[in-house]
Chains A and B, each alone.
Chain A
Amino acid sequence: TTRSPEFLGLDKSADMFPQSDSVGDVIIGVLDTGVWPESKSFADTGLGPVPATWKGQCESGTNFTSANCNRKLIGARFFGNGYEATLGPIDESKESKSPRDDDGHGTHTASTAGGSVVEGASLFGYAAGTARGMATHARVAVYKVCWLGGCFSSDILAAMDKAIADGVNVLSMSLGGGMSDYYKDSVAIGAFAAMEKGILVSCSAGNAGPTSYSLSNVAPWITTVGAGTLDRDFPAFVSLGNGRNYSGVSLFKGSNLPGKLLPFVYAGNASNSTNGNLCMMDSLIPEKVAGKLVLCDRGVNARVQKGAVVKEAGGLGMVLANTAANGEELVADAHLLPATSVGQKNGDLIKSYLSSDSNPTATILFEGTKVGIQPSPVVAAFSSRGPNSITPDILKPDLIAPGVNILAGWSGSVGPTGLSTDPRRVEFNIISGTSMSCPHVSGLAALLKAAHPDWSPAAIRSALMTTAYVAYKNGQKLKDTASGKDSTPFDHGAGHVDPVSALDPGLVYDLTSEDYLSFLCALNYTASQITSLARRRFSCDSNKKYSLNDFNYPSFAVNFDTTQMINGGSSVAKYTRTLTNVVGAGTYKASISGQLTGVKISVNPQVLNFSQAKEKKTFTVTVTGSSLPINTNAFARLEWSDGKHVVGSPIAVSWT
């Protein structure tokens, strides 16, 4: 990626991060669509021998041999038995029956996590700079589990099974399914086994935002990553015949529009179909769009396909307008014709012009790449949101990372739009999604693993979460694209990742395999369900009281049952946590901040004295809630600080 290293402070703090030797011992496994091994992001210049711990392989298949692996890309496998059992034999004329990536997504995620340094990277000149993964010296192993027809759980589980045996240290999974209970969800099941082997599993939160309860991958042994913006934009203005300009974004590169205003038409008025405004395939009447700019509404079909439809019908350019479903979120695309995407407000104003002017005209002005955009980061509207629908007592997502307009490596067998009609081939592409934020965290976790080889996956996640930030440098709270207002822990979790601070968190909330088993007991899982997950006999102790409130998670989700709070009564919830000191002696003081209407929060003790590293101290948080209407939420933040370190935890209080 070309901007996120600077945005995350990796460039200015290079001397704080571990040396290449130790990072070179860390292996990131990526489950995705495979890899384009010829990408410069997988060059192995300067890397030492493959770690002795590595037991994986570079499997051969369609247009892929073991010679495609090297000291960077140390493993490549593919898993298609489940896919073929359901959909029939893989058509090797359409997709490679091998680890080769015919889609681009897997190359993008793998290079984001652990790609080598590539100078002079860009997409058609956009986002130009030196591209690098988050952990440039880490090794990458790819496990192809997603095919043209989708990703099947039997294949995903087989890949996780192999990745664990191969010896990966971090698993990066930018995929998700529905909202199954943990014992039915193959990703959660496989991640549990990985966690027990000391492997940190980082998963995307999903792109079903801004709807509440839209998260996937919410198991507490998974690090769940939402998406935020960078401080970079690709402006492309719509200039109307009435002299007004409206801002949008675009990655179009090619023959620009004629240097004059063009006739402008709304797609809904250039079609005989009921959904003509959406620019679906074959929906536009060529006579009504030829030689014109066309405004299409976003939704249903792919954004880039709408451009292809306009082009096919003879249109010269496209304005893509968001509707209420996407609000003001702007996602830039490498359209096949001159095109720009505008937010709902601008889209409505442009449509108003189109309907009121008898001879509407417009043009698009492409401005290239701009950096330093503020505020940033802003939570992406598409990023899935809490509360956690499986276990409301665990706050998810865990944190956010860059996931909007991310440049990274791409497959050589598909164009930047992914359309079969796109003949262009690029080394790098710019795309968006929590798929893109997940590998950022995977790579950063690899850096932390190298710096602190003895830390558990839970300790690494804790460091990433408790040092995440929730306010801009000017003190204002992080914003949410969807609402335009302050974002909440249900949107950003613990906040935006800050890897420099995460290297030295001071204290961590650690968790062991036994803690996770106790968590399952607290959920009243049956012995059979626990055995499925734990792969060994485990019975909950009938004499022991298991409580979700004592589960040592680095965040707090408090749920008050309004039916128990009738007649103005209040309710009290107590939470126990244990902090482990990972530096020298220190005295930490607790503070609570945030929206405290209807809720009182106290911490006991308020001071924790640590005299040495690895020392553990326990404290209690008491949350007293007044009787408030159902669906009310309040948010606060607990911070422990010794003056140097700040160990922050979000607190989300819900009246349900």
Chain B
Amino acid sequence: QKQDKKTYIVHMAKSQMPASFEQHVHWYDSSLKSVSGSAQMLYFYDNAIHGFSTRLTPEEAELLENQPGILSVLPELRYELH
């Protein structure tokens, strides 16, 4: 199962954070944990985007995409030096 996991960048609608959360990172983590008990955030982003990156199976990524407040779950891309 671990081998099936890929890195995804998750874009969140920051303004839609439920009032029950005090900090966005806790809301992001809660959204992540709702689809995967073991997934960890690789990065928490707040300036370039609102969101985080994590490792998920394709099924978990699809589930996450349907959670409230999720704008998109995009697979990681590889870049190259020019």
Asked whether, in the complex, the Cβ of B82 is within 8 Å of the Cβ of A438, the reply is: yes
Q: C-beta contact mask, A39-68 vs B, less than 8 Å → 1, else 0? A: 000000000000000000000000000000
Given contacts A157-B48, A164-B47, A189-B48, contact A151 B82 (CB under 8 A): no
A: interface residue count bin = 35 or more
Q: How far is the CB of B44 from chain A (nearest CB, A)?
A: 9
What are the residues of chain A within 8 A of B27 when measuring CB–CB? Answer: none
Given contacts A157-B53, A532-B49, contact A176 B42 (CB under 8 A): no
Given contacts A85-B55, A164-B48, A528-B72, contact A156 B79 (CB under 8 A): yes
Contact residues, B28-82 vs A (CB, 8 A): 42-43, 45-50, 53, 55, 71-72, 74, 76-82
Q: Choose among B43, B48, B77 the residue with the greatest number of A CB atoms under 10 Å from its CB.
A: B48
Asked whether, in the complex, the Cβ of A190 is within 8 Å of the Cβ of B49, the reply is: yes
Asked whether, in the complex, the Cβ of A177 is within 8 Å of the Cβ of B77, the reply is: yes
Q: How far is the CB of A110 from chain B (nearest CB, A)?
A: 13
Q: How far is the CB of A43 from chain B (nearest CB, A)?
A: 25
Query: Interface SS of chain A: helix, strand, loop or mixed?
Result: helix
Q: Choose among A81, A162, A165, A535 the residue with the greatest number of B CB atoms under 10 Å from its CB.
A: A535
Asked whether, in the complex, the Cβ of B7 is within 8 Å of the Cβ of A86, the reply is: yes
Contact of A82 with B by CB under 8 A? yes
Contact of A654 with B by CB under 8 A? no
Asked whether, in the complex, the Cβ of B82 is within 8 Å of the Cβ of A174, the reply is: yes
What are the residues of chain A within 8 A of B6 when measuring CB–CB? Answer: 86
What are the residues of chain A within 8 A of B9 when measuring CB–CB? Answer: 153-154, 157, 186
What are the residues of chain B within 8 A of A606 when measuring CB–CB? Answer: none
Q: How far is the CB of A235 from chain B (nearest CB, A)?
A: 26
Measured in the bound complex, the distance between the Cα atoms of B79 and A32 in whole Å is: 11
Given contacts A157-B9, A531-B13, contact A85 B42 (CB under 8 A): yes
Contact of A524 with B by CB under 8 A? no
Asked whether, in the complex, the Cβ of A82 is within 8 Å of the Cβ of B76, the reply is: yes
**B7's contact among A82, A105, A178, A529, by CB below 8 Å, is which?**
A82
What are the residues of chain A within 8 A of B11 when measuring CB–CB? Answer: 531-532
What are the residues of chain A within 8 A of B77 when measuring CB–CB? Answer: 152-153, 177-178, 180, 184-186
Contact of A377 with B by CB under 8 A? no
Apart from A151-B78, A184-B77, what 4 extra A-B contacts exist at CB < 8 Å? A82-B7, A146-B81, A157-B45, A193-B47
Contact residues, A533-561 vs B (CB, 8 A): 535-537
Asked whether, in the complex, the Cβ of A193 is within 8 Å of the Cβ of B48, the reply is: yes
Contact of B20 with A by CB under 8 A? no
**B42's contact among A82, A185, A189, by CB below 8 Å, is which?**
A82
Given contacts A186-B9, A193-B47, contact A177 B79 (CB under 8 A): yes
Contact of B23 with A by CB under 8 A? no
* Closest B residue to A225 using CB positions: B82
Asked whether, in the complex, the Cβ of B7 is within 8 Å of the Cβ of A32, the reply is: no
* Closest B residue to A528 using CB positions: B71
B residues whose Cβ falls under 8 Å from a Cβ of A: 6-7, 9, 11, 13-15, 42-43, 45-50, 53, 55, 71-72, 74, 76-82
Asked whether, in the complex, the Cβ of A535 is within 8 Å of the Cβ of B82, the reply is: no
Measured in the bound complex, the distance between the Cα atoms of B79 and A105 in whole Å is: 15
Given contacts A152-B7, A154-B7, contact A532 B81 (CB under 8 A): no
Q: Choose among A193, A435, A438 the residue with the greatest number of B CB atoms under 10 Å from its CB.
A: A193
Contact of A353 with B by CB under 8 A? no
Asked whether, in the complex, the Cβ of A86 is within 8 Å of the Cβ of B76, the reply is: yes
Asked whether, in the complex, the Cβ of A154 is within 8 Å of the Cβ of B53, the reply is: yes
Can you list 6 contacts pairing A with B, beta carbon distance less than 8 Å? A81-B43, A82-B53, A153-B9, A162-B47, A175-B81, A184-B74
What are the residues of chain B within 8 A of A157 when measuring CB–CB? Answer: 9, 43, 45, 48-49, 53
What are the residues of chain A within 8 A of B45 when measuring CB–CB? Answer: 157-158, 161
* Closest A residue to B40 using CB positions: A85
Measured in the bound complex, the distance between the Cα atoms of B15 and A373 in whole Å is: 58
Q: C-beta contact mask, A166-190 vs B, less than 8 Å → 1, else 0? A: 0000000011111010011111011
What are the residues of chain A within 8 A of B71 when measuring CB–CB? Answer: 528, 531-532
Measured in the bound complex, the distance between the Cα atoms of B81 and A569 in whole Å is: 46
Contact of A206 with B by CB under 8 A? yes
Contact of A433 with B by CB under 8 A? yes
Asked whether, in the complex, the Cβ of A105 is within 8 Å of the Cβ of B13, the reply is: no
A residues whose Cβ falls under 8 Å from a Cβ of B: 32-33, 79, 81-82, 85-86, 105, 146, 150-158, 160-162, 164-165, 174-178, 180, 183-187, 189-190, 193-194, 197, 204-207, 216, 433-435, 438, 528-529, 531-532, 535-537
Asked whether, in the complex, the Cβ of A150 is within 8 Å of the Cβ of B78, the reply is: yes
Asked whether, in the complex, the Cβ of B82 is within 8 Å of the Cβ of A433, the reply is: yes
Q: How far is the CB of B20 from chain A (nearest CB, A)?
A: 20
What are the residues of chain A within 8 A of B13 when measuring CB–CB? Answer: 531, 537
Asked whether, in the complex, the Cβ of A82 is within 8 Å of the Cβ of B79, the reply is: no
Q: How far is the CB of A165 from chain B (nearest CB, A)?
A: 5
* Closest A residue to B11 using CB positions: A532
Asked whether, in the complex, the Cβ of A535 is within 8 Å of the Cβ of B50, the reply is: yes
Asked whether, in the complex, the Cβ of A190 is within 8 Å of the Cβ of B48, the reply is: yes
* Closest B residue to A146 using CB positions: B81
What are the residues of chain A within 8 A of B46 when measuring CB–CB? Answer: 161, 165
Asked whether, in the complex, the Cβ of A177 is within 8 Å of the Cβ of B49, the reply is: no
Asked whether, in the complex, the Cβ of A160 is within 8 Å of the Cβ of B48, the reply is: yes
Measured in the bound complex, the distance between the Cα atoms of B69 and A243 in whole Å is: 75
Q: How far is the CB of B63 from chain A (nearest CB, A)?
A: 17
Measured in the bound complex, the distance between the Cα atoms of B76 and A82 in whole Å is: 9
Q: How far is the CB of A99 from chain B (nearest CB, A)?
A: 16
* Closest A residue to B74 using CB positions: A184
What are the residues of chain B within 8 A of A174 when measuring CB–CB? Answer: 81-82
Q: How far is the CB of B57 from chain A (nearest CB, A)?
A: 14
What are the residues of chain A within 8 A of B49 when measuring CB–CB? Answer: 157, 161, 189-190, 193, 532, 535
What are the residues of chain B within 8 A of A86 when measuring CB–CB? Answer: 6-7, 76
What are the residues of chain B within 8 A of A151 when measuring CB–CB? Answer: 78-81
What are the residues of chain B within 8 A of A531 when measuring CB–CB? Answer: 11, 13, 71
Q: List the 6 closest A-B pairs by CB distance, nearest first.
A: A154-B53, A204-B82, A190-B48, A161-B48, A435-B82, A164-B47
Asked whether, in the complex, the Cβ of A177 is within 8 Å of the Cβ of B72, the reply is: no
Measured in the bound complex, the distance between the Cα atoms of B43 and A155 in whole Å is: 8
Asked whether, in the complex, the Cβ of B82 is within 8 Å of the Cβ of A207, the reply is: yes
Q: How far is the CB of A366 from chain B (nearest CB, A)?
A: 29
What are the residues of chain A within 8 A of B7 when measuring CB–CB? Answer: 82, 85-86, 152, 154
Q: How far is the CB of B56 from chain A (nearest CB, A)?
A: 11
* Closest A residue to B78 using CB positions: A150
* Closest B residue to A187 using CB positions: B79
What are the residues of chain B within 8 A of A146 when measuring CB–CB? Answer: 79, 81
Q: How far is the CB of A411 from chain B (nearest CB, A)?
A: 13
Measured in the bound complex, the distance between the Cα atoms of B80 and A175 in whole Å is: 5
Measured in the bound complex, the distance between the Cα atoms of B49 and A194 in whole Å is: 10
* Closest A residue to B45 using CB positions: A161
* Closest B residue to A80 using CB positions: B42
